[in-house]
Amino acid sequence: MNESRPVVLVTGASGGIGADLARIFARNGYDLALVARSKELLEALADEIAGLGRPRPLVLPCDLAAAGAIDVIAEQLAAADAVPVILVNNAGYGLLGEVAALDPVAQMGIIDVNIHALLGLSLRFLPELRARRGKILNVASVVGFFPGPGMAVYYASKAFVVSFGQALAHELRGDDVVVTTLCPGVTLTGFQARAGFPTDVGIMRFGAATSASVAASGYAGLMAGRRLVIPGLGNKLLCYIAPLIPSAILLPLVASMQKRRSTKLDRSNSFASF
């Protein structure tokens, strides 16, 4: 029988960190399956990778917030006789604003993409990953170490990713399955522009990382078998000191930061994905 096609399955691959991770995996000899909502952007990335002499990635357009999305991806992979040997859970989005002021359906969508899809894909393909001693790269954020008034659901969703990824890494250590959680700080992607965050002031002007550099750190950490990757010394310090700051101080600080962002917006509900 023919061997199944081993692929790196990358969600949120239409741009930003996901697209740059796909490029890095391709440069290092991996075959790919790309997932995002935009078929056009995925096709363009697949053409770019194929143009470099690599196998053309599978293009799997899918809305991870939709019911049955995990089954759709699994069926498309099976139809192509492809099996994930590395799973990159990168897709996610956030909403800027207070919980009571935001659309409840859109906030539930954050859970669907940032948590439900990540967990669903991990559970669905865990047997294959264990059998092949594969790897999982979950993209979280430094905000997963903080409470997030003003972006409460998004911050909480990333806290789940941080906690789940580290626990899963421990559970699978005897199976030689690497689970790495990538926690970038401020990163220049489409996330900020679509959210309406100002990009010409403060840290967004001088302290933000590029998606390419964050992707490179994530790839290197995954290949090294690291459990947690936090690019940048400043981000590491933030994550380590956050639990030491009293909530009475931390909560107003985060809320104030989000309030300053919200005053820059022309609309009350701001959608961002990456």
Residue-wise pLDDT tens digits, 19-40: 999 999 999 999 999 999 999 9
Of 155, 67, 165, the C-alpha closest to 119 is 165
pLDDT given at position 2: 60
Give the chain's mean pLDDT: 90
What pLDDT does residue 122 have? 98
Res. 230 pLDDT band, cuts 50 70 90: very high
Residue from 154, 155, 219, 240 carrying the catalytic annotation? 154
Among the listed residues 274, 213, 195, 215, the one whose alpha carbon sits nearest the alpha carbon of residue 36: 274
Which of the four pLDDT bands, split at 50, 70 and 90, describes residue 257?
Answer: confident
Q: What is the pLDDT of residues 261-271, one digit of tens each?
A: 776 654 333 33
Q: Cα separation of 165 and 182, whole Å? A: 9
Q: Checking DSSP bridges between strand 270-273 and strand 93-96, what pairing results, if any?
A: antiparallel
Cα–Cα distances (Å) from 13 to 43, 61, 69, 110, 241, in that order, read 11, 10, 16, 17, 32
pLDDT at 166: 98
Confidence of residue 158 (pLDDT cuts 50, 70, 90): very high
pLDDT value of position 259: 82
> What pLDDT does residue 3 have?
80
Mean per-residue pLDDT, 140-167 = 97
Q: What is the CA radius of gyration of the chain?
A: 18
Calpha distance 185→212 (Å, rounded): 13
Query: Do the Cβ atoms of 93 and 272 come closer than 8 Å?
Result: yes
All residues at 6 or more sequence positions from 244 whose CB lies less than 8 Å from its CB, including other chains:
none
- pLDDT score, position 194: 42
Hey, where are the domains in the chain? 5-273
Round to whole Å and give the CA distance between 43 and 144. 32
154 given a catalytic annotation: yes
Percent of the chain surpassing pLDDT 90: 82
CA–CA separation, 94 vs 16, rounded Å?
15
Mean pLDDT of 136-144: 97
Token pair listed for 90? 């990168």
pLDDT for residue 264: 61
CA distances from 69 to 55, 75, 118, 240 (A): 25, 10, 11, 36
Q: Tens digits of per-residue pLDDT, 47-88?
A: 999 999 999 999 999 999 999 999 999 999 999 999 999 999
Specify the 3-state DSSP secondary structure of 259.
Answer: helix
CATH number of 5-273: 3.40.50.720
